[in-house]
Amino acid sequence: MSTKIFSPELEAIGIIKKDEVLANHTTFKVGGPAAYFLETNDSEIIQKAIRIANKAGLKFAALGGGSNVLVSDQGFNGLIIKISSSRCDLIDTNKLDADAGTSLAKIIRTALSQNLTGLEFAIGIPGSFGGAIAGNAGTSGHGIAEYVESLKYVDKTGVLKICDKSQLDVSYRYTRFKYTPEDIIISAILILAPAQPIESQKLVKEAMEKRSWQPKGVWCAGCIFKNPANKSAGKLIDEAGLKGKTIGGAKISEEHGNFIINTGKAKAEDIIILISFIKQQIRDQFGVQLEEEVRYLGFN
């Protein structure tokens, strides 16, 4: 898809790219071009871009590390704002203030180096801090949003706002930002606890061991489905005999049923068909309705 839209005001921002292939910005390595693509963590630039996009009737959405999205083969006929930074500061004795575009890995490293505990469970989760907060990324019964004191975001009208923890609406793999990619998280403050070094090292080791099951060096987006209440989506897919099932270039991992792998030439369409197939099989065999954890971009 080539750009069908034109916004001279947006192009005047200067750092805007056109027809940027989104496959290069996702861990699935699929997805067509974004008509417009802006990479920044600067709230003023983001506010300006959103106001221009709204005036021009352009849709827009945030992108972080691209590790939990499936982008359509047609791409995104609007403006993708990729939030990118590396800022993570210690404020106070037990608080970190970081940009949304900073990698979650850097946030965890900074916490550990400052002898702060709480985030060990998230070791090994790829992507950005903002993406992790939006979807309350986590494992072992914990999610990153639990540790947020407050955050700054630019809302879909281009206004910079503050959201306190009480307004985040946190639950399993969910915050109020989960399905509103037009509300863009800019930065957040985390409250952590002072670490007992031996206890913290134990948590780090446990987190790394728990990750050893994960398929490595493959193109994927982590777990495709949320776990249904008291069940494991991966286990259901395994019990349904679906591991290894392949459609086009998309394959259910032999190692973990909840991972779909791009074997090299997958199209988003192959992955979508495989997701639908899995949902139908699990519904038919177990009467369970699976719900996606991965989010879709550019499908409507």
Ligand X SMILES: Cc1cc2nc3c(=O)[nH]c(=O)nc-3n(C[C@H](O)[C@H](O)[C@H](O)COP(=O)(O)OP(=O)(O)OC[C@H]3O[C@@H](n4cnc5c(N)ncnc54)[C@H](O)[C@@H]3O)c2cc1C
Number of residues that bind ligand X (CB under 6 A): 33
**Interface with ligand X (CB under 6 A), residue from 33, 75, 126, 298:** 126
In the complex with ligand X, the residue whose CB is nearer, 35 or 185, is 185
**Interface with ligand X (CB under 6 A), residue from 10, 20, 27, 225:** 27
Copy the structure tokens of residue 125. 């989760």
Which residues lie closer than 8 Å to 128 by C-beta, 6 or more apart?
Answer: 64, 65, 83, 84, 100, 101, 102, 103, 104
The answer to whether residue 125 forms part of the interface with ligand X (CB under 6 A) is yes
Active site residues: 173, 223, 293
User: Which own/partner contact pairs does 146-150 have at CB distance under 8 Å and 24+ positions apart?
Assistant: 146/170, 147/118, 147/119, 147/190, 147/191, 147/192, 148/188, 148/189, 148/190, 149/95, 149/188, 149/189, 149/190, 149/191, 150/188, 150/189
The answer to whether residue 295 forms part of the interface with ligand X (CB under 6 A) is yes
In the complex with ligand X, the residue whose CB is nearer, 12 or 15, is 15
Binding segment toward ligand X, per CB under 6 A, in 31-39, 122-130, 238-246, 283-291: 122-130
**Interface with ligand X (CB under 6 A), residue from 33, 78, 118, 130:** 130
The answer to whether residue 127 forms part of the interface with ligand X (CB under 6 A) is yes
Binding segment toward ligand X, per CB under 6 A, in 43-51, 63-71, 160-168, 195-203: 63-71
**Spatial contact of 73 and 267, defined as CB atoms under 8 Å apart:** yes
The answer to whether residue 257 forms part of the interface with ligand X (CB under 6 A) is no
In the complex with ligand X, the residue whose CB is nearer, 80 or 192, is 80
**Spatial contact of 213 and 94, defined as CB atoms under 8 Å apart:** no
**Spatial contact of 292 and 135, defined as CB atoms under 8 Å apart:** no
**Interface with ligand X (CB under 6 A), residue from 58, 148, 168, 185:** 185
Whole-angstrom distance, CA of residue 11 vs CA of residue 49: 10
Interface residue list for ligand X (CB under 6 A): 27, 61-69, 83, 100, 125-128, 130-132, 134-135, 137-139, 177, 181, 184-185, 214, 220-222, 295
